[in-house]
Amino acid sequence: MMGLIPASQVPPLRRHGGGLFDYCDLEIPSIEATVTIEQIQARLGVRTPGPATAQRDFHVAFIMEAHGRDLTDSELTYFNTLAEFATRPVPAGQPAPMLTHNWAPITRYFGNDTTWRTDIPDVPANPGAVTASITVNSTWDTGYCVEVAVTNGRRFDIGAWEVVIDLQQSAVISSWSADVDLAGSEMTAASLPYNGQLDPGASTSFGFCASKTGAAWQPQVVSAAHR
């Protein structure tokens, strides 16, 4: 039907009578109609281009929803193996694999010099990262205020982020644009519903003010990540 084989090689098409199709390896008892290529051509015309000039370069893609994360090494290996197997030619003399339980190589079924190959895109090993940087907006003898910029450097958008900051010799007095949790000298700042969603390359910010409790008061980013 794709114009890859002549009409004489197209077998009759049988229409199942409806309901649950569960006749693997069995004769299908509920055939409502049998349609031949001659009937199809009489209704729709002869497929053009035909086998002599039909396109023979096809692309098959496997697409999956990763839900805002990168595939693991095991998942990448699985899909790479699946792509290789799906386009592997059946050796001459070997029976065609079962359509019901296996990936049937297209080469065997379309023939006529149709060739397939597997091209696995070169995906960068480093998926990028969420980063955070601190800018001191104001400082005085006993305290300071800073702004923390959060940037999505990943290939995908993120729905939430979290930044851990070492407060050193300082104590937080107030904060804004983040849900803040304090534990010892560390502060964990989590995104709020309105600023967690970041497209690739996009940034947002939060801030806090703190009192100085020693000479080494400068806060430092410990980690930044998506959630």
Pair (28, 76) in one structural domain: yes
Give the whole-angstrom CA distance, residue 208 versus residue 171: 10
Where do we find the tokens 């091209």?
119
Tokens of 11: 């077998």
Pair (105, 177) in one structural domain: no
User: What's the confidence (pLDDT) of residue 102?
Assistant: 43
Q: Does the residue 120 lie in any domain?
A: no
First-residue to last-residue Cα distance in the chain:
48
User: What's the confidence (pLDDT) of residue 49?
Assistant: 80
Give the whole-angstrom CA distance, residue 210 versus residue 219: 10
Q: Does the residue 115 lie in any domain?
A: no
Pair (34, 93) in one structural domain: yes
Q: Does the residue 2 lie in any domain?
A: no
Each residue's pLDDT tens digit, 162-208: 999 999 999 999 999 999 999 999 999 999 999 999 999 999 999 99
Of the candidates 22, 87, 98, 90, the residue with the CA atom closest to the CA atom of residue 58: 87
User: Residue 100: CB partners within 8 Å, gap ≥ 6?
Assistant: 24, 25
Boundary-marking domain end, from 110, 145, 174: 110
Pair (100, 167) in one structural domain: no
Q: Does the residue 116 lie in any domain?
A: no
User: What's the confidence (pLDDT) of residue 103?
Assistant: 46
Pair (134, 170) in one structural domain: yes
The pair phi, psi for residue 120, each rounded to 5°, is -100, 115
Boundary-marking domain end, from 77, 110, 143: 110
User: Residue 3: CB partners within 8 Å, gap ≥ 6?
Assistant: 47, 48, 49, 50, 51, 54, 55
105 residue type, one letter: P
Q: Does the residue 123 lie in any domain?
A: no
User: What's the confidence (pLDDT) of residue 20?
Assistant: 60
Give the residue numbers spanning the domain of 65. 7-110
Which residues of the chain are modeled with pLDDT < 50?
1, 101-104
User: What's the confidence (pLDDT) of residue 10?
Assistant: 80
Rg (CA), the chain: 31
129 residue type, one letter: A
Give the whole-angstrom CA distance, residue 15 versus residue 31: 6
Pair (59, 135) in one structural domain: no
User: What's the confidence (pLDDT) of residue 135?
Assistant: 97
Pair (138, 218) in one structural domain: yes
Boundary-marking domain end, from 50, 80, 110: 110
For residues 54 and 46, the answer to whether their CB atoms sit within 8 Å is no
Structural domain count of the chain:
2
Q: Does the residue 185 lie in any domain?
A: yes
Pair (104, 152) in one structural domain: no
CATH number of the domain within which 163 lies: 2.60.40.290
Pair (81, 171) in one structural domain: no
Q: Does the residue 117 lie in any domain?
A: no
Classify each residue of 33-68 as buried b or exposed e, where b means 16 or more C-beta atoms within 10 Å of its C-beta. Answer: eeeebeebeeeeeebeeebeebeeeeeeeeeeeeee
The angle formed by the CA atoms of residues 162, 204 and 146, to the nearest 5 degrees, is 80
* Cα separation values, 184 from 10, 24, 148, 188, Å: 75, 64, 20, 11
* Cα separation values, 41 from 6, 10, 11, 32, 63, Å: 12, 12, 13, 20, 34
Pair (26, 86) in one structural domain: yes
For residues 83 and 76, the answer to whether their CB atoms sit within 8 Å is no
User: What's the confidence (pLDDT) of residue 1?
Assistant: 46
Pair (102, 145) in one structural domain: no
Pair (80, 33) in one structural domain: yes
pTM, two decimals, is 0.53
Q: Does the residue 222 lie in any domain?
A: yes
